[in-house]
Amino acid sequence: MMRLSASGLACVRSGRPVFVGVGFTLAAGEALLVLGRNGAGKSSLLRMIAGLLRVAAGRIDLAGGDPELSLAEQAHYLGHQDPLKPALTVTDNLAFWARYLGGRAAPETLAAVGLAALHDLPAAFLSAGQRRRLSIARLIAVPRPIWLLDEPNATLDASAQARLAALMRDHLAGGGLILAATHGPIGLAGAQELRLGETP
């Protein structure tokens, strides 16, 4: 069984500590909500796990994963920015990521996020919520066991939030892991919580 754990993590920005002594353990099929005020380090924690930010202290361990791949190669990081090419169509953007990351851009992937009708529209004409949904489609097109989601509901309307919640529940049911930085509920009942920036 896959297990992701961290102990004694510290984050430092511009010489100042953001958080220290952070730890958690997450097993296959489990979700962790990372909570806290703005600036508490929620995004930084996810970026550390994704290999995008240096760990100042502590360690992150993955057990039960693919021994030939790094943790970053077994995780999807969905950040604040939606990495899309404006001149490419919705389908071509998804196909680019599928080729680059080693997945498959199937038509049903766009249907799962409610974008099938916009498959031939250039990404430049998408609304903020539609761009977010296209980024979410990447999670499905390229299967990876660990999802690192930074404010995944940002810009999504109620219908799209419900779609995302269903996708997350399916991912967990298949043995995946989810860490989500959020300011509120995202439809994952029973998820663990990690609060940053709070003093005992």
Domains of the chain, each with CATH number or no CATH? 3-187 (3.40.50.300)
**pLDDT score, position 200:** 45
Confidence of residue 185 (pLDDT cuts 50, 70, 90): confident
| Helix (H) or strand (E) segment spanning residue 22 | strand 16-27
Residue 199 pLDDT exceeds 60:
no
Query: How far apart are alpha carbons 103 and 141 in whole angstroms?
Result: 6
User: Following DSSP, what letter does each residue of 47-108 receive, concatenated?
Assistant: HHHTTSS--SEEEEEEESS-TTS-TGGGEEEE-SS----TTSBHHHHHHHHHHHHT----HH
pLDDT mean over 115-139: 95
**pLDDT score, position 21:** 94
pLDDT in tens, 91-116: 999 999 888 888 887 889 999 999 99
Contact between 155 and 128 under an 8 Å Cβ cutoff? The reply is yes
Residue 72: burial class (beta carbons within 10 Å; 0-12, 13-18, 19+): middle
